[in-house]
Structure 1
Amino acid sequence: MSPLTTPLRDPAPMLERTLDEWGGRSDLWIYGYGSLIWRPDFDFAERRAARVHGWHRALKMWSRVNRGTPECPGLVFGMLPGGSCRGMVFRVPQGDARQVLLNLWQREMVLGVYDPRWLACQTPEGAVRALAFTLSRKSPSHTGVLADEEYRRIFAQARGIYGSTRDYAEATQAELLRLGIRDRALARLIALSKDSD
């Protein structure tokens, strides 16, 4: 592994802490705000629209494997502090939850970039406590402020093992719109990328 694809932190203790915090005595709720919405890759018993206050979805996390390379990093979504975010919560039955978490760690936490957090999610059927993968602005994977030209270049060039940053952004936008969720910041970035076609 190159230094850029070496885990920032050991994800194993973070998984153990998350399992302890869940406790194993109830169903598990997981909050999706990006690709988990359109490709959860786990079975669930229920899915609800949900809003989280105090966090927002942002295409501001470097991806050097899934949607880019160390030489040409792409972008994926992180949840950053501030604002609010509309997404989905998924209820995983108690008996399946441990295995689902193990699989999620293989997908989301290989490099130990995210900070897993339990967030209060408001749904039409009431509030639930759900696990979300958040991003610290202090993380080396946080992009900081990017110029429009940089977004254009990334959308045009960045591609990783799961495809391009552009495909990822467009797939997320399509599913958000299907669910009646408008993300103006994401729509602006996709429109920017099309300006350069």
Structure 2
Amino acid sequence: MVWVFGYGSIIWKPDFPFSRSLSCYAKGYKRVWWQGSTDHRGVPGAPGRTVTLEERPGSIVWGRAFEIEAEDWEGGVREDLAVREKQYDTLRKLDLHARGSSGSEEIVAVRGALTWIATPRSENYLGPLPMEELASQIATSRGPSGPNSEYLLMLAEALRKHGLEDGELDVLERKVREHLRRNKD
């Protein structure tokens, strides 16, 4: 079996077979909107923004881990995910943690889950932007998979559905919704 850790669209769109999933987090990472998307949520010359992970000691990033049976992994899931995540340049193995049954204890839930990360070496890596500029770019970008705002809104909704927290995402969601309302009027 293979475990895959989703911290972005894989949370709300796991378009591969899996035998089980669980909410968990990776230590030492933060979800950031620094990756450009020119193939899904933007186009060349007008990229959208998707999430990647930045190493940040003391931080955690919540997401979902998906267990994939070996025959499914070898039977096409590996290749499908390689295409889906092609704009990310690093495949990393992470140990994932979860809250124990008491809610306060921490357990190692999965060892060596695979995840894709975009680094500054990635062709579409965009880096940080001030929150207002980021919200504006996400509100106005669109690509073959639809509006960039849809990516953000689906991610925020999926995190809420699974009881996961990301305060910065909540703020960004509010700002993107404000931009969308202003542009609608």
- Normalised by the length of structure 2, the TM-score is 0.84
5+ residue gaps, structure 2, are: 101-106
Distance 2:109 2:161 in 1: 23
* 3-state SS of 1:181 partner: coil
Give the whole-Å Cα distance in 1 for the aligned partners of 2:124 and 2:29.
Answer: 17
For structure 1, list consecutive stretches of 5 or more residues without a partner in the other structure: 1-26
One-letter code aligned to 1:180: G
Q: Which residue is 1:97 aligned to?
A: 73
Structure 1 residue corresponding to 2:30, chosen from 56, 66, 80? 56
Cα deviation, residue 80, structure 1: 1.5
8 Å CA contact 2:38–2:124 kept in 1: the answer is no
Q: Tell me the percent identity.
A: 28
User: Of 106, 117, 124, which aligns to 2:83?
Assistant: 106
Does residue 131 in structure 1 map to residue 114 in structure 2? yes
Q: Secondary structure of the equivalent of 2:32?
A: strand
Give the C-alpha shift of residue 151 in structure 1. Answer: 1.8
Distance in 1 (CA, whole Å) between partners of 2:130 and 2:108 is: 39
Equivalents in 2 of 1:120, 1:152: separation in Å?
Answer: 31
> CA separation in 2, counterparts of 1:94 and 1:77?
27
The worse-fitting range, judged by mean Cα deviation, of 51-60 and 119-128 is 119-128
Superposed displacement of residue 140, structure 1: 4.5
What SS does the corresponding residue of 1:81 show, helix, strand or coil? strand
CA–CA distance in structure 1, aligned partners of residues 97 and 128 of structure 2 = 29
Considering fraction of residues, name the structure with more strand: 2
Q: List aligned pairs for 1:23-34, cutoff 5 A.
A: 27-34=1-8
Q: Does 1:156 align with 2:139?
A: yes
So what's the TM-score if we normalise by structure 1?
Answer: 0.79
Residue aligning to 1:22: none
Alignment of 1:79 with 2:79, yes or no, is no
CA distance 1:126–1:54, shift in 2 (3 Å): closer
Corresponding residue number in structure 1 for 2:104: none
- Residue-by-residue CA offset, 1:12-65 (whole Å, 9 max, x unaligned): xxxxxxxxxxxxxxx100001111011111011111111100112112111112
Aligned-partner Cα distance in 2 for 1:42–1:140? 26
